[in-house]
Amino acid sequence: MLKIGLRLDCLALGPREALARAASLKMDGVEIPAAWGDFHPRALDRSGRRALRHYLEDLRIGLAALGADAGFRFEDESRVECFVDTTRAILEMAVDLKTAMLTTAVGAIPEKPEDRRYQVIREVLKELADDAANRGCSLALSAGQGPPEALRRFLDDLKHDGLRVNYDPANLVFSGHDPARSVALLGPYIAAVRARDGRRYLDGSKEELPLGTGDVPFDAVMEALGDFDFHGYLVIARRPHEKIEEEIEAAHRFLKRYL
């Protein structure tokens, strides 16, 4: 069954207040950003993790995923070790919090396997996917930061149960790709979905918009996801603004039509 989630940093609130507000907004679950701030593994020791798990249980809200994207994009190879260490620490925390999903981004996958950056990305993600699978988790890569065809070839190349796709239709619109056709390409690997909308203008500028008001063809996207029996979270993700809670409530109503 499909569920509706909320990326917790949509709400400009403290950790407990944001979790309580997500529950009051009738979210089935939350995605918690863990690459920085109050939920970073260094900031949350074992007792803190137990307390968080119990608080989520008290609120009757699920943990859709931990967000592990710290902005690293593989252009700077000197930061690879930091990326690996941070991801591993979040994987360890995922086990403590009993969630099986990490979301992250690595930038556009090079289209040619002989490209050095392709080989570096492949080696690093194979290692991390092994770690994830050994912990019963998956690492879901953001779609839309490059051609979906290149991402599909990369995933087919690895063929790894620990590596999946975090499908983001707004990113695909921003990069000039068809969101529904991209589901057809990436469907077997999609394990998480961003509920985002937006528009790319003729001058190349991009604008994030409330769900249902941009260029994402949600009816076609949801039909395509249904063809692959997707039954995970649709996670509302939006930058905070003055009327963010009103927009979140409207997004929740919009998504309920697909449940």
pLDDT in tens, 202-222: 998 999 999 999 999 999 999
Residue 3 identity (one-letter amino acid): K
- Residue range 79-102, pLDDT digits in tens: 899 999 999 999 999 999 999 999
What phi, psi does 148 have (nearest 5°)?
Answer: -60, -30
Sign of CA dihedral 222, 225, 226, 230: negative
DSSP state, residue 103: E
What phi, psi does 235 have (nearest 5°)?
Answer: -100, 115
Q: Place 78 in a pLDDT band, splitting at 50, 70 and 90.
A: confident
Q: How far is C-alpha 149 from the chain's CA centre?
A: 19
d(CA 87, CA 128): 8
Sign of CA dihedral 95, 97, 99, 104: negative
pLDDT at position 69, please? 94
Sign of CA dihedral 76, 172, 87, 22: positive
Which among 40, 141, 131, 38 has a CA at the least distance from the CA of 91? 131
pLDDT at position 1, please? 87
List the structure tokens of 53. Answer: 């798990």
Domains in the chain, please, with CATH?
3-256 (3.20.20.150)
pTM score, whole prediction: 0.95
